Amino acid sequence: MNYQNFGRTGIHVGPFCLGSAMFGQSIDEAAATSVIDAALDLGLNMIDTCDKYVGGKSEEIIGRALKANGQRDRVVLATKFSRSGVKDPQPPNHYGISRRYIIQAAEGCLRRLQTDHLDLFMIHRPWWDVALDETLRALDDLVRSGKVRYIGTSNYAAWELMEAQWAARELGTNRFVVEECAYNLLHRLPERELIPYAQTHGTALITWGPLAVGFFSGRYRRGEKPDPKSRIQPDNFWKEMLTEPAFRVLDVVETIAKEKNCTPVQLALAWVAQQPGVTCPIIGPLSVEALHDNLGALNVTLTAEDRTRLDAVAKPGSAIVADPAFGFQSQPHQFRW
């Protein structure tokens, strides 16, 4: 397995990052632990989670798994902070990017993950009611204390990252080294500004949703009602994936996959992993068997002709379905720094 620099940092990561959003929900702890152990045995060395996933259960499962297998030091452990628990609405000061909540969130993540440091601590969503200097200084304090190694963002726009980079330079704080964004054949908007930004400034780019929440697994077909338990439904945000433009992309993916003797999942993952500027896509297998199938993408090579055929149905820089966080990126910030 090949490893590469994580953006401009000195650490190295494998070609895929193990995601954990479904740990404790669609996959129980025993199965999740098996997936974690198998992923590390196969050479993956990065795990992504969040304090919000299943009310913190995802972090707890990962913490217990790494304590049991004794491989914490091998792992680049990444988590995000957003809001505590699962209550909605949240009590005041139990979410956001204030100094108070950032410190509180970090302590909670450390406790659930049973570790003394976080390799990567990311803001899960942009917030607009906190001055940027307060956020950067709080995160910088965590880095200087040794509780956090690197800081980053998730679902930010390029202009927000550029402003944060400028502010960090002026304030003399640590800067964001990674952005985690949605990116797949149905959502190519990051190609407009975000990917060029990452390439220009040496920012690592982790991508979530490479399979478009399971659309490229082939479980959704024209004219068929999806399983009621599926994430994509005719009445939710992802309904645009059940339209003809999306199915035309799936047709091409399945055709090329058949020609290459691989699965559509492997082809869709290979496309994201081999796109310029991408450091590592996040995969979320629900079993060891699915993990092996996902990693089969490492044996798939896309040619220029393959890319041209895919570009014809999934236009570069466009979106058949934008990710839910895209709307956040156009909101004005109430405070600067």
Q: Please give the DSSP secondary-structure letter assigned to residue 217.
A: G
> Strands 12-13 and 4-5: what pairing?
antiparallel
197 as an active site residue: the answer is no
Structure tokens at 326: 């895209």
Neighbours of 251 (CB within 10 A): 12
Of the residues 53, 101, 197, 220, which is catalytic? 53
Nearest CA to 76 out of 28, 148, 141, 126 is that of 148
**Contact criterion met (CB below 8 Å) for 288 and 38:** yes
Please spell the DSSP secondary structure of 237-285, one letter per residue.
GGGGGGSHHHHHHHHHHHHHHHHTTS-HHHHHHHHHHTSTT--EEEE--
Whole-number Å distance between alpha carbons of 159 and 142? 25
Identify the bridge partners of residue 46 per DSSP, sorted by sequence position: 76
Structure tokens at 236: 């939710």
Q: Give the residue numbers marked as catalytic.
A: 53
